[in-house]
Amino acid sequence: MKTSFKNHIPSSEITPKNVYTARRAFMRSAGILAGTLALASCGVSEPLVTAEEKVLGDPGYSALTDERGDQVNQLSQITGYNNFYEFSTDKEEVANLAKIFPTTPWEITVNGLVNKPIKLSVDELIKKYPVEDHVYRLRCVEGWSMVIPWQGFSLANLLRDVEPTSAAKFVRFESVMDLGKMPGLANPLYPWPYQEGLRMDEALHPLTLLATGLYGGELPAQNGGGIRLVVPWKYGFKSIKSIVRIELISEQPATLWNLIAPNEYGFYANVNPSVDHPRWSQSTERKIGELSRKPTLMFNGYESDVASLYQGMDLKKYY
């Protein structure tokens, strides 16, 4: 297997964690000092760590590029333009609504057709499976795209440890349903919970990531914190956010968008410029921040890594 997807980020380009955490601590104390001076007369106290501060990330990441040379999007674009209907159908309203959504501590259950079902917190997962930087292109089915520096680990590492039985053929993922903090869940026109699925070989592919961080910072709630899936050769809706449960099963699972409009959203949902969608262009895309459109690449540019998974399949039928 080729390893072109591995994004070896020169360590010189990234601020070491101890440096930027120290910098943040300094900024925080400076901020508190300034805040104390400004607010001393009003008697207002501020929380020490705000939600925004948690997701600050490391500005050094903004200089990174993917393996094709495309620069990563700005953090404000990545955290300010989110399809996360559990919060809102308005992509630019999600970040605001997600501010009160707690992403730590976060627990995830892995069970189903496995020998060793587990329940772990994201903190425990990060200790067990060291996270690495991965700069991936994200292509939304709506015809826009971004380049995003994730931190995470291969789903395959986790799946091997739970020991799937031979009957396990598919992996089903389920998002959190926090009725109190996710106003979009009250919309009866969506068959909640958000659920997604992968074929076993897709789930075990080294490109398939469980992401726990973004831009070197925590994974913000609007981007799917505590933990999310990232499958870069598929349309964005496959990369399910805020996962609470991973289940190994024998049959192809139902998926939310496929339940809504089966003619539009297939189970596979591989990025494919030659398979059209009744609404959006799949042959071209606009990278967020760019003025003009550009051609969409087969498997979102990961063709040499993943095409072998679909050998002999009619991709027009299995869209």
Partner 1 sequence: MGLGLLNGSFGVNPIQSVEKFAGFTALNFLTLTLACTPLANLSGYKFLVSRRKALGNYAFLYASIHVFVFVFIDYGIDLGFLLADSLNKKFIWLGFAAYIMLAPLAFTSFRYWQVKLGKNWKKIHRLVYVIGITVPFHFLLASKGSLTTFSGNILLPVIYGGIITLLLILRWKPVKNFIQNFKPITGL
Residues that bind partner 1 in the complex, under the rule CB under 8 A: 76-77, 80-81, 89, 91-92, 142, 144, 189-191, 259-261, 264, 276, 278-279, 281, 283-284, 286, 288, 291-293
Q: Least Å distance between CB 173 and partner 1?
A: 20
Nearer to partner 1, 4 or 89 (CB): 89
Q: Which residue has the tokens 């997604």?
A: 196
Q: Are 239 and 229 in contact (CB under 8 A)?
A: yes
Rounded Cα gap, residues 19 and 14, in angstroms: 10
Nearer to partner 1, 158 or 240 (CB): 240
Residue 229 host element (H or E): strand 228-230
Q: How far is CA 102 from CA 4, 39, 152, 181, 206, in A?
A: 36, 27, 19, 9, 29
Rounded Cα gap, residues 193 and 175, in angstroms: 6
Nearer to partner 1, 91 or 137 (CB): 91
Beta bridge partners of 285: 294
Rounded Cα gap, residues 38 and 301, in angstroms: 51
DSSP characters for 278-292? SSS-SSEEEETT-SS
Rounded Cα gap, residues 319 and 314, in angstroms: 8
Nearer to partner 1, 13 or 92 (CB): 92
Query: Which one-letter DSSP state was computed for residue 309?
Result: G
Q: Least Å distance between CB 216 and partner 1?
A: 21
Nearer to partner 1, 80 or 117 (CB): 80
Q: Least Å distance between CB 139 and partner 1?
A: 14
| Pairing mode of beta strands 107-112, 228-230 | unpaired
Torsion of CA 162, 163, 165, 169, to 10 degrees: 70
Measuring CA to CA, which residue among 79, 77, 81, 73 is closest to residue 103?
79
Nearer to partner 1, 77 or 121 (CB): 77
Q: Least Å distance between CB 190 and partner 1?
A: 6
Nearer to partner 1, 68 or 279 (CB): 279
The CA-CA-CA angle for residues 26, 106, 135, to 5°, reads 65
Q: Least Å distance between CB 261 and partner 1?
A: 4
Q: Least Å distance between CB 73 and partner 1?
A: 9
Q: Least Å distance between CB 172 and partner 1?
A: 20
Q: Least Å distance between CB 77 and partner 1?
A: 5
